[in-house]
Structure 1
Amino acid sequence: PAGEKTHDLIGVSELIISTALQGVLFCLLGAQPLLVIGFSGPLLVFEEAFFTFCTSNGLEYLVGRVWIGFWLILIVLLMVAFEGSFLVRFVSRFTQEIFAFLISLIFIYETFSKLAKIFQEHPLHGCLKANGSDGEPAGNASAALGNGTWGRSVHKVTGQPNTALLSLVLMAGTFFLALFLRKFKNSRFFPGRIRRLIGDFGVPIAILVMVLVDYSIQDTYTQVGPGGRPRAGQEVRDGPRGSAALSPQKLSVPSGFSVTAPEKRGWVINPLGKNSDFPVWMMVASGLPAILVFILIFMETQITT
């Protein structure tokens, strides 16, 4: 999701490397070892809003993010020096529940927003032709009759009739399976320790099962990229039944140790700007969004964990 919100400026590779290094330092310095330190719902919304602000004002998003990081370090040091964690005693149980509800609401909104986008780009067909396709194919398929293999042609993916239905099934299946496994903790099957283990890891188990189900279905397109196109590193090939079969890769993950979009960024970001000089006023103004990020992190670390 982070790659979609930032146009691959912060993708899977950057998130894994940064959270891995951050997690090692975070745990070694005495923090909670089970704390989630990746992109959460509120932080993802902040990243999207800040990326939109930088894009609309002609500013470099990553450079601005670096200055937010500098200000965030200063704010955290001041908070630790003056033992600001005591402020958590002013937070009521009601505030905790509201913040937890906000996180859940963000993920629910993202889920249904993604599903609505899939139904718009791949609407259901009222009537299908005899060969199982509606309209002209988006690309040309070639067949080598001598050896019985199909040629491969990359084309735009549009109007796949089974995409929306399969996406709905996967979403509903993940929810109901996770709900069932959470309630399985209170059942009478298996010893109590096994039931608690299954109940605590119900959501990851449900996600893993539905991912395997999606992976096993090779003849239905289930990844919507920008404009209905497959993502970087994905390839759509013509199948034997005239359907567009998607290669198993679902995320834009580069091969080897490299950034998600090498043509856009590198591992080291120049705080003074890459394409042009970063405005001095924005360096100072980055302190305001840094305060917002600190509030989100403080709420998550002190309240929801």
Structure 2
Amino acid sequence: MSEAAGVLRIQSGYIRSSSIKDLGPLEFTGKVAGGLRLDLRRRAPLYGSDWTDAFKAENLQKSVSSILYLFIAALAPAITFGSRFLDGTNGQFGVLEMIMSTCVSGLLFSTFSGQPLSILGATGPFLAYSLVVYDLADAMELEFLPYYFWVCMWSSVFTILVAVFDLCALMKHVTMFSEDIFAGLISLIFIIDGILPILRNFIEETIPLRSAMFETLLFVITFGGASYLSYFRRTPWTVRSLRNLVANFAVTITLVIASAIGAIYTTETNLRMLEVEAELAPALTLATGEKRPWVVNPMGIEKDFPAWGIAYAILPAIGFAVLGYLDQTLGCTVAATGWKSFLSLSPDPFSLCILRS
């Protein structure tokens, strides 16, 4: 807890100093929802600048490149994990649902949260835990989507309680070692998910050798090109403004080039494409042959959902709440490392509350 000197002017015209407690975002307030109120107070002066700073002349190029980069960074995991969800849940939900949820939750969170620089999206731990929830529902012969709804609702309740009682302040005890382990785990999951399909092409021989080699080539072009162009500003080539432009749009440029090469040689190499239905509809097909509605009925889709199933969802919801708490707060802590001057980077109860609302 820091002490800030407050200057008070009294009627006589004299100025005297008094001690005003200035609680940081990782401090216990000792009051119910005290952290939420302080977060709102801290965020209010910065909310307008979050929208206007991006349009300043000196920030415009960086803003556009960041938007394109983050669009790709949010879309790629949604597609990857969406296909994994589709296989792991026996077609209960897939790529379109993942893209839609990433879009809606990302818009709401970035607009209203106290930590707008966090990017929401699917991660490996959430994928693994969701598949565990599917197995629990399948073992008790419950419909997965209504059961998943109640798990998420209970998880929201627990997470909001965490925010109300300032438990985000526990992150002040997290060491750099824990942050590095967490960041390394998430990075390792994405790296493995990117490399394994390439290796399976050669080990399992699921596709012709020509197709496997071409997919590997596109992988190398994308990764190598993005890595090289990201550091292009440090090379002596061309003028500084052009180097900065190329480095800022490195990922976008590389993906456009790799996608163009793939599109040109698709026929010759039998390049596999992501299979997505042309109709904008959920993946699950009901017994009637129709697609399920976008809004899940919590009391059952094709059969009544039992009341005991709501209570049965409490236990996995606790695990989801803990996982979400660690994912959000540790993620914000890692993002804030090296950027302590940014007031909107600290993990805060308000963001956690918005995330689970």
TM value normalised by structure 2 = 0.60
Structure 1 Cα separation of the partners of residues 255 and 115 of structure 2: 25
Contact kept? 2:82, 2:95, Cα under 8 Å: yes
Q: Which shows bigger deviation, 112-121 or 162-171?
A: 112-121
Task: Judge conservation of contact 1:41–1:103 (CA < 8 Å) in 2.
Answer: yes
| Distance across 1 between alignment mates of 2:169 and 2:151 | 24
Higher helix share: 2
Give, in whole Å, the separation in 2 of the partners of 1:16 and 1:75: 26
Residue 323 (structure 2) pairs with residue 293 (structure 1): yes
* Residues in 2 aligned to 1:54 and 1:191: alpha-carbon distance in whole angstroms: 60
Check whether the contact 2:154–2:313 (CA below 8 A) recurs between aligned residues: no
- Given the alignment of the two structures, is residue 253 of structure 1 paired with residue 276 of structure 2, yes or no? yes
1:126: which partner in 2? none
* Equivalent residue for 1:172, pick from 200, 217, 220: 220
- Cα RMSD (Å): 2.7
Are positions 1:3 and 2:82 aligned together? yes
Aligned residues: 244
Structure 1's 108 and 30: CA in aligned 2 closer, same or farther, altered over 3 A?
closer
Work out which of the residue numbers 98, 101, 104 in structure 2 matches 1:18.
Answer: 101
Conserved in 1, the CA contact under 8 Å of 2:155 and 2:320? yes
The ranges of structure 1 where at least 4 consecutive aligned residues each deviate by more than 6 angstroms after the TM superposition are none
Q: Distance in 2 between matches of 1:58 and 1:192?
A: 63
Is contact 1:43–1:296 with CA below 8 Å preserved after alignment? no
Check the 8 A contact 2:233/2:244 in 1, yes or no: yes
Distance in 1, matches of 2:130 and 2:233, equals: 36
Q: Distance in 2 between matches of 1:47 and 1:55?
A: 12
Question: Partners in 2 of 1:83 and 1:213 — Cα distance?
Answer: 51
* 2:4 corresponds to: none
* Structure 2 CA distance for partners of 1:72 and 1:205, relative to 1, 3 Å: farther
Aligned with 1:162: secondary structure? helix
Give how far 1:251 is off: 2.4
Q: How does 1:120-199 map to 2 (within 5 A)?
A: 120-121=203-204, 123=205, 159-199=207-247
2:187 maps to 104
The Cα shift of 1:34 comes to: 3.7
Relative distance call for 1:176 and 1:49 in structure 2 (3 A) is farther
Alignment of 1:227-242 (within 5 A): none
After superposition, residues 201-240 of structure 1 pair within 5 angstroms as: 201-217=249-265, 218-223=267-272
Measured after TM superposition, the shift of residue 259 of structure 1 is: 1.9
Counterpart check, 1:94 vs 2:177:
yes
Aligned residues of 1:6 and 1:51 also touching (Cα < 8 A): no
SS at match of 1:20: helix
- Please report the TM-score for the alignment, with normalisation by the length of structure 1: 0.69
Q: Which amino acid aligns with 1:289?
A: G
